[in-house]
Amino acid sequence: MNTSEIKKLDREHVIYPWVAQKPVDPIIMDRAERIYMWDTDGKRYIDFCAGLLCVNIGHSNRHVLKAMNAQMEKLTYVASMFGTEAKAKCASMVAEVTPGDLDYVFFTNGGAEAVENAIKAVRAYTGRHKIYSRWNSYHGATTGAIALSGDPRRAASEPGPAGVTSFFGPYCYQCPLGYDSHETCKLACLEQLKKQVLYDGPKSIAAIFMEPIVGTNGILIPPPGYMKGVRQLCDENGILLVSDEVMAGFGRTGKWFGIEHHEVLPDIMTVAKGLTSGYVPLGAMIWNKRLWDHFGDKPFVGGLTYAGHTLACAAAVANIEVYKQDNLIENSRVLGLHLAKRLEAIKQRHPSVGDVRNQGLWACIELTSDRKTRAPLAGYNDSVRKVSGEISKRLYAAGLYLFNKWDYIFISPPLCINQAELDESMDIIDKTLDYTDSLLK
């Protein structure tokens, strides 16, 4: 089929997420290799978003494809009450790379379902109902996960389930408490959280769910001491700490998991995306020993038809092998240092850039209309003007795909990228920012 024939079928039948359907005019992708994608007309794009923050090892990795093919020849799927070699090996390899005693793996189909099952687990374990999560967070699009999310995408699902409470976490460039930087605030957001927990009744709260670094709402990196303070608050009040590593996990930040930058151990981790690099959908909820022991004599009431899907687990095993064999975690760390320098140079050159921040190969360029006041350029939820569409148009024309919205331009390439490829991509972004600078004139 040619491009026009594919588009005709697509627009007659396919529903796209998060958008009105009539204006949709998708680029039809045909194939991909490493960090590159080609559309059906033969144009090449750099995938600077790793799909949707998931293709961490890069596209069409031969080791993974070979392992998947071998598994398909043997066994693709069995009911979730059966064990398989792939499932057992995958759980063991996940336990090997997770920190501390996070050794017990409940498989799901993706990140949102991992969060849904974590909600069940914390309530069953504690006997409490309330759950805390951050404004500016994103935990998934299913009913429970979107209720935990602190951005406008949850509005369409409201009213959501009872018991969810939001709090302001650290956002040092646009501090909701009015401070200029974390050097002057003395972790005021942590003190506010402590007061909120006190007023709400600490013995009524089952868990605090947190992204170790907020992802699609700005790459918000907690300042030193914040996560340790949250961990201490949880310990003092019998509250569980859940680290949502769906985006941050599997090398994105230069460590296996984002929480490791804070030297804090959560009680539960949720993962997906980089677990299989999107080759097959797979997620997981991972418990520590305390939860494992608790549910040793009590049923965990959760289950999915495709939990521990054999082919998906085989893909995950091969993915973890690639991370290790190709030294991708270290590559993310080292190139992250180079990326930080490129970001700072871009900030100095472009007056429409207010802030840049990154951890490993995960970064955000935040736009502004006034550096002095830090006024937004597009505004939260495009409340001032919409610029992301034009940015995307210019990037696509230059052969670069990434995710951007509101005042945020996100960078999250496959971890197999090299420095020359990273620099080529940053040069395209650098040139595209001349457009946002022009909006200030």
Domain regions of the chain by residue span:
3-57+327-438, 63-325
- What digits encode the pLDDT tens for the residues 149-160? 999 898 888 888
Q: Can you give the length of the chain in residues? A: 441
- What digits encode the pLDDT tens for the residues 75-115? 999 999 999 999 999 999 999 999 999 999 999 999 999 99
3-57+327-438 belongs to CATH 3.90.1150.10: yes
pLDDT at position 161, please? Answer: 87
How many Cα atoms occupy the beta-carbon half-sphere of 265 within 13 Å? 12
Tell whether the model's pLDDT for residue 441 goes beyond 80: no
Please give the Cα distance from 92 to 262 (Å, whole number): 24
pLDDT at position 418, please? Answer: 98
Please give the Cα distance from 173 to 162 (Å, whole number): 32
Count of Cβ atoms closer than 10 Å to residue 413 Cβ: 25
pLDDT at position 429, please? Answer: 98
- Mean residue pLDDT of the chain comes to 96
Please give the Cα distance from 221 to 363 (Å, whole number): 10
Residues 6+ apart with CB under 8 A from 106: 114, 117, 284, 285, 286, 287, 300, 302, 307
CATH of domain 63-325: 3.40.640.10
- What digits encode the pLDDT tens for the residues 356-376? 999 999 999 999 999 999 999
One-letter amino acid of 425? S
pLDDT at position 76, please? Answer: 97
Strand partners, 106: 285
Q: What is the pTM of this model?
A: 0.95
Please give the Cα distance from 145 to 140 (Å, whole number): 5
Tell whether the model's pLDDT for residue 347 goes beyond 80: yes
